[in-house]
Amino acid sequence: MPTPRSLVRACLALAVLLGTISASVGTGSAGPIEDKRAEAARISAQLDAGANQVTQLSKQADRAKGQLGATEAALAQATAEANAADSHLQQTQTRLATQAVDAYVHGGSAGLLSALTKSDGSDLGVRKQYATLAAGQDHQAIDDMRAAREDLTARRASLHRIQSVRAAGVSQLDKRKAALTQAQNGEKALLGKVQGELASLVAADQARRDADAAARAKAAAASLAAVPAASRAAAPRSFNGWPPMPPGWQPLGGTFACIRQMESSDNYSEPGGGAYQFLDSTWHSLGQPGTASDAPPWVQDAMAVELQQRSGWGQWTTAPLCGR
């Protein structure tokens, strides 16, 4: 089991670890993993671009709907004004007719009334003149109202055309937004699938690396077993008395490399337990003398594999940060 102070080093090495894991996984299986990672990055970029388009379309649709609302409000006001003008025009025409009849039957102004009173019955011309004078002002008002009504009609027709164009624009924007959102949903589903495939590839590559590391460590452990413990204890902090480096040996990769980085910044000579920060009691339980930092790297690797196989990844508190 590693020492408690390894937790401090784990926090300090976390940033380095992330880069190390990414690099190690990519190197081990550059083809399918990198291709899948590139595919995921491409889909993510498309999703980002699509999200920006959806945002822009939403803004355009909001503006268009605002303009359509203003047009509909103006159209409603123009319709109300036209209805009011129709009512006023009808009232004025009714009043004009009443005034014309009243003028013809009863007379009106003092001068004309006197003439009508003194007439001998042949006063139709006078009465007609009075009716014309009495109704002249209203005729002008009616002409003005008719002109205003025609203006309102033209205004309403124009607003109807604008309303139709803007409504079509809003509908088109909504359709484009819906289509783009549907495409976005498809891209998200595809990205989830690709990310799942990538995770499977990374996990398989990690398992292969761990298996390779375990095989190399077993070979190192076999060489170590051939050297008596007394000989190894005779020269602490020296490689003398330890088994020679196995042919083709390389530091363990995969999860073990991650743990080394987290525990000791990948330093096999790190005081307090070597690269894997073995407690002395744990180191001795593995049949090794002294302290782990005295042993050569290949021996520390072999003991790390043996400890993992005996007690699991839980012997290292930093293992969860390495995906274990």
Do residues 181 and 222 both lie within one domain? no
Do residues 103 and 146 both lie within one domain? yes
pLDDT on residue 119: 56
Task: Catalogue the long-range contacts made by 8-15 (C-beta closer than 8 Å, 24 or more residues apart).
Answer: 9/262, 9/263, 9/264, 9/265, 9/277, 10/262, 10/263, 10/317, 10/318, 10/321, 12/265, 13/261, 13/262, 13/265, 14/262, 14/321
Domain membership flag for residue 280: yes
Do residues 275 and 298 both lie within one domain? yes
Q: Identify which of 252, 183, 244 has the alpha carbon closest to the alpha carbon of residue 217.
A: 252
What is residue 265's DSSP assignment? Answer: S
pLDDT on residue 120: 57
Do residues 79 and 190 both lie within one domain? yes
pLDDT on residue 234: 43
Domain membership flag for residue 104: yes
pLDDT on residue 130: 53
Tell me if residue 316 falls in helix, strand or coil: coil
pLDDT on residue 74: 86
pLDDT on residue 146: 76
Domain membership flag for residue 215: yes
Q: Which residues of the chain have pLDDT under 70?
A: 1-30, 93, 95-141, 213, 216-241, 324
Do residues 231 and 272 both lie within one domain? yes
Mean pLDDT of the chain: 76
Do residues 77 and 192 both lie within one domain? yes
Which of these three, 146, 166, 196, is where a domain ends? 196
Do residues 20 and 81 both lie within one domain? no
**CATH number of the domain residue 22 falls in:** 1.10.530.10
pLDDT on residue 236: 40
pLDDT on residue 279: 94
Do residues 102 and 174 both lie within one domain? yes
Q: Identify which of 84, 80, 82, 130 has the alpha carbon closest to the alpha carbon of residue 110.
A: 130
150-205 confidence digits (pLDDT tens): 887 888 888 888 888 888 988 988 888 899 888 989 988 998 998 898 888 888 88
Q: Identify which of 257, 260, 226, 263 has the alpha carbon closest to the alpha carbon of residue 243.
A: 226
Do residues 125 and 187 both lie within one domain? yes
Do residues 115 and 57 both lie within one domain? yes
pLDDT on residue 93: 67
**CATH number of the domain residue 153 falls in:** 1.10.287
Three-state helix/strand/coil letters over 208-256: HHHHHHHHHHHHHHHHHHCCCHHHHHCCCCCCCCCCCCCCCCCCCCHHH
Do residues 264 and 313 both lie within one domain? yes
pLDDT on residue 99: 62
Phi, psi angle pair for 2, to nearest 5°: -70, 160
Which of these three, 134, 169, 196, is where a domain ends? 196
Domain membership of residue 118 as a residue range: 49-196
The count of structural domains within the chain is 2
Domain membership flag for residue 43: no
pLDDT on residue 265: 93
Do residues 138 and 252 both lie within one domain? no
